């Protein structure tokens, strides 16, 4: 008799964004006249840039002729793309990197979700709270979390990210039992917070001390404007021994519907086996990817490589500038209305203190204004009393949303 | 201390095709003058068809304008593609299907590899021998197989596919302890064998009796020419309760470098929990995909949908006719030389009895002729003494390969 992976039963209802999507559908059904403005899910709205489009078409054209046709590519990605990534995103920024340390994939959601497969079932895992749900749910499915009790999984260690610590957890929060795996995300989803070099260095030091591994998600790196903020965990000395970094073209270059991302695994990163032996994390992930993945669509890789041309770099800078201006306007309005917030300066997300139940605030905002946000509670216990507003939309939609918010929400009565 | 998933240590060296690729690289290095002909990995060589290319470009163009831009799509695939798949591949063939039962993905390798995540760790699994390595290796990684002893994993049940049973295993081969999960693949990779309706019906009956689940891989369905051969497991009455089907655009339409596939999960398919409850397999996979996957690139989905237009259907038929003619020529030559073989009529693979160690035959063929095949032993114990020859190449390369084989291999001395 075929039987279920019982861990699936520990999952909390459906994936957060599916729930929101359902609520929005229901709202549209009951208010067919309403014009909904989406500032919820972090999905870009602006077209791919001209240089990227040109390369994408060229890639398709190559597939149209036998002489230039490409079949299966390397599971790790084409060298032409891995080399550009290593050069522009790391070496030019002062981080040494071998192109072979870059694994191209179809999404950072997939990579951050699949990466836990490499580890023992009983490792101790620390996740931020609030947290991108994928880090948690994929470990639930793998049986590493225990049951969900009073809003948290018993077997996870939550790194509380609150107003008090500027939404940047520190290793000092942990008790004396070491954790083995640490998920960090900066600029943070959902809070928009960024970490300083010193704050990241404290985590690297912790990981070195306890032979822990840091999974560093920097999907939002493109929005950093402050030169003092580290763009990569590998800017921290020693990080190459204890960290993996996930990046994505989704927010960087508008690839949410195009699908490309990458994961960097330094070759010196090793993990331990029961027998006292150590294993190369790079080799393990390579084995995982060659067995379960068949590479990214060739024209998509061509398009991604074009991001690294001088024109491509200029164009994606302009794209992120546009969303950052949206973010500035949103934060200004919320501040005007008396709502305390963070993010939105080096991040496309604004994390707004609502001062009440965040699903209730979400529902009421949707009902009153037709605006979709993301309730903070959907990201964890520490998200209760917050909503996340995304700056990914057209300027006119954002402006319209802000008018509606001013007219319908009124000043925050604390 | 971060520790490894110990199951990875049970994996046998590297993924089969990576090993072959390494051997071929080494051969090329030591014989820089040799012109290698690849009849190994099942990778198509002919360009995408004009109708597909046109739609692919249109999809890219849509991403170039804000008004038509698409960000995140549904994780399950766009309705426009799911509907075409359901209509043309199933309903028009007499199988009822709801488009919502179709999950679009970036590859059948990923889907057949990831699907086991839904099941309990201690289910009993039957795999064909010879077998597509992904079915086995992904279960090894998940800890379901035990150790590798004398060429086989202790915890797997092997469905021996031999000359005696025409390479089509039957449930009668199994002992009295029921299996819970059965991997089947027809037209078969690597043997090229096809199963009759009666043979598939025996498996459906077995699955019904034991509440087992069949994972049916029909990645090579496009090569079936004999109208008596079932194209889908769902042609068998009762299969909707006990089977999932995997299909791919890779071999069907030349998408190996473009990346698109799909999995069909009938809504009536349920699996059991410890508590005696039953769970919808469709819902479980939906949860898995929404948590760990972000959908297929939009222009790729547009390209895949074009396969279903009348012109698209004509063009992909012509593509598969071309490879089938290659297959016929290969089989003819091998038969002439006195080698017994199967496949190649309703399949792009020819399974050739070499009568000796198959890695040795592979090495010797590569050394003497520069032709890459796949050693049968790489697919399992029952593959020893065979090689798989793939018909995926250009006609002139195939013809050249056959001349080299005639000149260098000589008649088979049994």
Whether residues B254 and B347 fall in one domain: no
Which residues of chain A are modeled with pLDDT < 70?
A: 14-15, 413-414
Supply the pLDDT for residue A108: 98
Cα end-to-end distance, chain A, whole Å: 57
The Cβ-side half-sphere exposure at A151, using a 13 Å CA radius, reads: 12
Give per-residue pLDDT as tens, B347-389.
Answer: 999 999 998 899 999 999 999 999 999 999 999 999 999 999 9
In a domain, A120, yes or no: yes
Q: How many CB atoms lie within 10 A of CB A94?
A: 10
Q: How many CB atoms lie within 10 A of CB A307?
A: 28
Whether residues A123 and A11 fall in one domain: no
C-beta atoms of A256 and B72 within 8 A: yes
In a domain, A16, yes or no: yes
Domain end position, chosen among B309, B334, B352: B309
Q: Which residues contact B117 (CB under 8 A, 6 or more apart)?
A: A5, A141, B142, B288
C-beta atoms of A119 and B4 within 8 A: yes
Give per-residue pLDDT as tens, B403-414.
Answer: 999 999 878 865
- Burial of B54-74, coded b for 16+ CB within 10 Å and e otherwise, reads bbbbebbebbbeeeebbbbbb
Q: How far is CA A185 from CA A93, A127, B183, in A?
A: 19, 10, 39
* Closest chain B C-alpha to A346 CA, distance in angstroms: 22
Whether residues A196 and A279 fall in one domain: yes
C-beta atoms of A45 and B271 within 8 A: no
> Which pair of tokens denotes residue A296?
């990214």
Does B141 have pLDDT greater than 60? yes
Whether residues A126 and A32 fall in one domain: no
Across the interface, of A41, A119, A254, the residue whose CB is closest to B2 is A119
Supply the pLDDT for residue B275: 81
The bridge status of strand A37-38 relative to strand B152-153 is unpaired
Whether residues B184 and B59 fall in one domain: yes
- With beta carbons under 8 A apart, name residues in chain B contacting A113: 291-292
In a domain, A235, yes or no: yes
Average pLDDT of span B78-102: 98
Distance CA A262, CA A307 (A): 14
- With beta carbons under 8 A apart, name residues in chain A contacting B209: none
Quickly state the pLDDT bin for B15 (edges 50, 70, 90).
Answer: low
In a domain, A190, yes or no: yes
Q: How many CB atoms lie within 10 A of CB A10?
A: 17
CB A189 within 8 A of CB A167: no
Whether residues B233 and B319 fall in one domain: no
In a domain, A414, yes or no: no
Sign of the Cα pseudo-torsion (B308, B311, B313, B318, in order): negative
Question: Which residues on adjacent β-strands are paired with residue B352?
Answer: B341, B387
- With beta carbons under 8 A apart, name residues in chain B contacting A123: 2-3
Whether the bond into A130 is cis, omega within 30 of 0: yes
Domain count, chain A: 2
Domain end position, chosen among A310, A342, A357: A310
How many beta-carbon pairs under 8 angstroms link A with B?
258
Q: Which domain holds residue B39?
A: 8-47+311-409
Average pLDDT of span B135-160: 96
Interface test with B, best of A2, A9, A281 (most B CBs within 10 A): A2
Alpha helices in B167-220 (DSSP H): 197-210
Task: Compare all CA atoms of chain A with the CA of B49 and give the residue at the minimum distance.
Answer: A64
Whether residues B234 and B365 fall in one domain: no
Alpha helices in B115-217 (DSSP H): 133-141, 197-210
- Burial of A244-272, coded b for 16+ CB within 10 Å and e otherwise, reads bbbbbbbbbbbbbbbbbbbbbbbeebbbb
The bridge status of strand A243-248 relative to strand A261-264 is antiparallel
φ, ψ dihedrals at B157, nearest 5°? -105, 125
Q: How far is CA B412 from CA B37, B337, B352, B354, in A?
A: 21, 6, 11, 8
CB B237 within 8 A of CB B95: no
Across the interface, of A3, A70, A272, the residue whose CB is closest to B1 is A272
CB A111 within 8 A of CB A263: yes
Whether residues A364 and A263 fall in one domain: no
pTM of this prediction exceeds 0.90? yes
Phi-psi region of A192 (alpha: psi -120 to 50; beta: other; left: phi over 0): left
Whether residues B317 and B305 fall in one domain: no
Task: Compare all CA atoms of chain A with the CA of B253 and give the residue at the minimum distance.
Answer: A71
> Which pair of tokens denotes residue B73?
């799509």
Distance CA A145, CA A196 (A): 30
* Closest chain B C-alpha to A118 CA, distance in angstroms: 5
Whether residues A87 and A25 fall in one domain: no
CB B77 within 8 A of CB B305: no
Mean pLDDT taken over chain B? 96
Question: SS3 for B272?
Answer: strand
In a domain, B162, yes or no: yes
* Closest chain A C-alpha to B9 CA, distance in angstroms: 9
* Closest chain A C-alpha to B94 CA, distance in angstroms: 28
Question: Which residues on adjacent β-strands are paired with residue A387?
Answer: A352, A375
Task: Compare all CA atoms of chain B with the CA of A43 and give the residue at the minimum distance.
Answer: B71
- With beta carbons under 8 A apart, name residues in chain A contacting B114: 292
Domain end position, chosen among A289, A310, A331: A310
In a domain, B414, yes or no: no
Supply the pLDDT for residue A15: 67
Does B31 have pLDDT greater than 60? yes
Whether residues A222 and A124 fall in one domain: yes
Average pLDDT of span B186-204: 98
Supply the pLDDT for residue A274: 85
* Closest chain B C-alpha to A102 CA, distance in angstroms: 18
CATH of the domain at A244: 3.40.640.10
CA dihedral B283, B289, B291, B292 (to 10 degrees): 150
> Which pair of tokens denotes residue B309?
């237009």
C-beta atoms of A297 and B257 within 8 A: yes
Distance CA A76, CA A290 (A): 8
Q: Assign 3-class secondary structure to chain A.
A: CCEECHHHHHCCCCCHHHHHHHHHHHHHHHCCCCCCEECCCCCCCCCCCHHHHHHHHHHHHHCCCCCCCCCCCCCCCCHHHHHHHHHHHHHHHCCCCCHHHEEEECCHHHHHHHHHHHECCCCCEEEEECCCHHHHHHHHHCCCCCCEECCEECCEEEEECCHHHCCCCCHHHCCCCCCCEEEEECCCCCCCCCCCHHHHHHHHHHHHHHCCEEEEECCCHHHCCCCCCCCCHHHCCCHHHCEEEEEEHHHHHCCCCCCCEEEECCCCCEEECCCCCEEEHHHHHHHHHHHHCCCCCHHHHHHHHHCCCHHHHHHHHHHHHHHHHHHHHHHHHHHHCCCCEEECCCCCEEEEECCCCHHHHHHHHHHHHCEECEEHHHHCHHHCCEEEEECCCCHHHHHHHHHHHHHHHCCCCC
- With beta carbons under 8 A apart, name residues in chain A contacting B212: 1-2
Q: Which residues contact A129 (CB under 8 A, 6 or more apart)?
A: A152, A158, A159, A160, A161, A379, A380, A381, A382, A383
Average pLDDT of span B183-211: 98
Q: Which residues contact B394 (CB under 8 A, 6 or more apart)?
A: A66, B45, B46
In a domain, B1, yes or no: no
Sheet of B102-105: strands edge to edge? B102-105, B261-264, B243-248, B213-217, B181-185, B125-129, B156-160
Whether residues A26 and A132 fall in one domain: no
Supply the pLDDT for residue B64: 98
CATH of the domain at B390: 3.90.1150.10
Phi-psi region of B394 (alpha: psi -120 to 50; beta: other; left: phi over 0): beta
- With beta carbons under 8 A apart, name residues in chain B contacting A294: 106-107, 109-110, 256, 259
Could you report the predicted ipTM of this complex, rounded to two decimals?
0.96
């Amino acid at each position: 008799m075929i039987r279920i992976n019982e861990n699936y039963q520990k999952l909390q209802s459906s994936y957060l964004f599916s729930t929101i999507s359902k609520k929005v559908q229901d709202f549209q059904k009951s208010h067919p006249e309403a014009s909904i403005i989406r500032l919820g899910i972090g999905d870009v709205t602006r077209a791919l840039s001209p240089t990227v489009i040109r390369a994408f078409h060229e890639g398709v054209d190559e597939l149209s002729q036998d002489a230039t046709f490409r079949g299966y590519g390397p599971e790790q990605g084409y060298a032409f793309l891995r080399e550009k990534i290593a050069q522009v995103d790391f070496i030019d920024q002062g981080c040494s990197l071998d192109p072979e340390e870059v694994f191209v994939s179809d999404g950072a959601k997939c990579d951050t979700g699949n990466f836990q497969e490499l580890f023992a079932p009983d490792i101790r895992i620390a996740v931020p709270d609030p947290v991108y749900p994928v880090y948690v749910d994929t470990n639930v499915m793998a049986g590493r979390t225990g049951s969900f009790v009073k809003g948290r999984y018993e077997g996870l260690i939550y790194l509380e990210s609150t107003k008090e610590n500027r939404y940047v957890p520190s290793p000092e929060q942990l008790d004396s039992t070491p954790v083995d795996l640490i998920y960090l995300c900066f600029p943070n989803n959902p809070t928009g917070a960024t970490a300083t070099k010193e704050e990241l260095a404290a985590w690297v030091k912790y990981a070195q001390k306890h032979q822990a591994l840091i999974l560093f998600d920097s999907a939002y790196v493109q929005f950093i404007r402050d030169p003092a903020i580290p763009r990569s965990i590998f800017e921290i000395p020693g990080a190459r021994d204890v960290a993996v970094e996930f990046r994505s073209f989704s927010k960087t270059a508008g690839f949410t519907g195009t699908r490309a991302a990458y994961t960097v695994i330094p070759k010196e990163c090793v993990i331990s086996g029961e027998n006292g032996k150590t294993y190369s994390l790079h080799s393990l992930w390579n084995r995982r990817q060659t067995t379960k993945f068949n590479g990214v669509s060739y024209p998509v890789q061509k398009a991604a490589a074009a991001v690294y041309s001088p024109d491509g770099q200029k164009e994606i800078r302009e794209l992120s500038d546009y969303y950052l201006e949206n973010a500035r306007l949103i934060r200004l309005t919320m501040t005007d209305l008396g709502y305390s917030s963070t993010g939105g300066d080096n991040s496309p997300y604004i994390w707004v203190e609502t001062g009440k139940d965040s699903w209730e605030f979400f529902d009421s905002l949707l009902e009153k204004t037709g605006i979709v946000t993301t309730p903070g509670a959907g990201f964890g216990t520490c998200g209760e009393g917050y909503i996340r507003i995304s700056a990914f939309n057209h300027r006119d939609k954002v402006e319209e949303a802000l008018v509606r918010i001013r007219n319908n929400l009124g000043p925050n009565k604390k």
